[in-house]
Structure 1
């Protein structure tokens, strides 16, 4: 049975928004038709459920740590990344039942918040059962780390075993960050990933200490390694930023997500665009404010014309797992059109995860999830005919 829904605006993302557009869906949420108001009227369609707001595709969260959901409210804000990592290490251990219950609740909340797909960082198998029964599509990134090159073989063996244990769910082995992965481990991750052209995700320039470590071997990471009991006498500063230092260690054949990018500069962007053509840049603004109290230089990213996606990070560094809240924060701090934000939140993330045939846009033959956003027309700023700059109020309802 086909039902018809309409709203003040319908945003397919892959096409221009439709004022009072009509979407026909079946009982499984599969889109059968997308019509203008005129087309619907000419077909004599009258049994239409109308909503005030905008109908948009389900959101894609390209960076999450579901495993850390039990740390909600336990980690102090504005400590800087090294201090944050130390707190997580100290407090991460918990009863398995507590961890699973927190993950189940986080998964449920993400679904209610209109999220249909997630790129999730995992260090253990504990999230598999939650993902198997979830209404959300998950791609699991098996996060691998080990700064001591002697342990690279041991680390990659464990990562391969964990990836296989997640089957049949999609998963890939990825490096944690430039400062936590040795050259040898980078090499082995690349060798393993190139076998099936796996997706790559890596934390990038989340703190100024990351660049300081690579450029001069200074900064708070030295204290973190001391806390971890790691001898890093073997490491020599490269004199370059962390991104420039590590990008060549990643395969240009694999789609790669750079996460955070809080302290990425123009030279980094120029270098990246010249050396890797399959990069996606994930922003997690609420986590950036939580940990470093700093946001990325968004204008630089936009001027470089990079492909931007959105993520929530974890409940250890965020008060909620909601892409709409990430969009609101970006609208609060930067002048960004709703259309552009929505593309980051939907299509770009789906394209990175390779699921754009199913998610990321409202299109006939897809069941991408349909979300209703309560919106406000910004009538003060209407620079172009038929263009409405939308301000997000934050209220959300999942329609399909």
Structure 2
């Protein structure tokens, strides 16, 4: 058993716990979550970290085997029907198998425990099976992308997952999520042709620079439970709850007073 504590634990589906303690079994499944009411006391074999403990991150859009998909291609998908245009563009792209392991390594290093991988040919299943990251495979020859763009409010539907990242917000710069849409927004990256790093954490920090009204509590939800719900794996991932195995990341160097990330904010994988 590991007993882990921090200045704050953010379960995501409930309020942050000040000086909370989380207990993991040998398989990193949560067996207990203790609210100390802020009255922290040392116990044996306790690991204490300075910062905020959050679940592993969720990336709702990766193209591991198609690094030839560029930012220009991504931007072209934002001009019209996203799912249709994405499928059309990918049909013309060559697979780049050498990019797969690099992408997997980045997802793991930046604390992503669950990712949707879109492809035309599933020729990299073995590499994904060996990864610490769990993948939701989406074969675009058999299905379509069910993510939706943050288009004009009059056209948005409350049942849709809204796909957000920095490239999308550059296009839809007037987008502001209203209260009933905060649980719809989820974060994805893309390919190694659109991003230097497949990192939801880096996306989160950039999104806060672009939308200063958002707190880090808001954005953590976008990068965890919202994505897990979109991928229908919220029973395992996305929040810190007893019985789940969602991974554990530590965020440090935060501006607690203003609830913001800073240029020095960092992420460390704990479990």
Q: TM-score, normalised by structure 2?
A: 0.84
- Decide whether the 8 Å contact of 1:284 with 1:313 is kept in 2: no
- Decide whether the 8 Å contact of 1:6 with 1:23 is kept in 2: yes
Find 1:110's aligned residue among 107, 113, 120: 107
* Deviation by residue 1:25-50 (Cα, 9 ceiling, x = unmatched): 122111121113458857x7232111
- Inter-partner Cα distance in structure 1 for 2:178 and 2:78: 30
Residue equivalent to 1:329: 206
Find 1:305's aligned residue among 172, 178, 181: 181
Does 2:194 align with 1:317?
yes
* Deviation by residue 1:41-97 (Cα, 9 ceiling, x = unmatched): 57x72321111111100011011111123x49xx57699527999xx8799446xxx
Residue equivalent to 1:283: 164
Report SS of the residue matched to 1:66.
coil
Does 2:261 align with 1:391?
yes
Q: Which residues of 2 match residues 2-21 of structure 1 at below 5 A? A: 2-21=1-20
Which one has a bigger Cα radius of gyration?
A: 1
Q: Which residues of 2 match residues 1-400 of structure 1 at below 5 A? A: 2-37=1-36, 45-69=43-67, 71=68, 75=70, 80-81=75-76, 92-93=93-94, 99-144=96-141, 159=142, 173-174=143-144, 201-202=145-146, 257-258=147-148, 260-261=149-150, 264-269=151-156, 272-273=157-158, 278-285=159-166, 287-288=167-168, 293-299=170-176, 301-302=177-178, 305=181, 307-334=184-211, 335-379=213-257, 381=258, 389-392=259-262, 393-400=264-271
Compared with structure 1, are the counterparts of its residues 47 and 76 closer, same or farther at alpha carbon in structure 2 (3 Å cutoff)? closer
Structure with the larger RCO, 1 or 2 (CA within 8 Å, 6+ apart): 2
Residue 373 of structure 1: CA displacement? 1.2
Normalized per residue, which structure has more helix?
Answer: 1
Query: Where does the alignment leave 5 or more consecutive residues of structure 1 unmatched?
Result: 145-158, 160-172, 175-200, 203-256, 382-388
Residue equivalent to 1:215: none
* Deviation by residue 1:269-296 (Cα, 9 ceiling, x = unmatched): 2xx34xxxx32111122x337xxx4344
Residue equivalent to 1:188: none
Compared with structure 1, are the counterparts of its residues 295 and 320 closer, same or farther at alpha carbon in structure 2 (3 Å cutoff)? farther
- Inter-partner Cα distance in structure 2 for 1:359 and 1:82: 29
Matched length: 261
- What is the aligned-residue RMSD (CA, Å)? 3.0
Compared with structure 1, are the counterparts of its residues 91 and 53 closer, same or farther at alpha carbon in structure 2 (3 Å cutoff)? farther
Compared with structure 1, are the counterparts of its residues 397 and 128 closer, same or farther at alpha carbon in structure 2 (3 Å cutoff)? same
- Decide whether the 8 Å contact of 2:165 with 2:207 is kept in 1: no
Compared with structure 1, are the counterparts of its residues 303 and 359 closer, same or farther at alpha carbon in structure 2 (3 Å cutoff)? closer
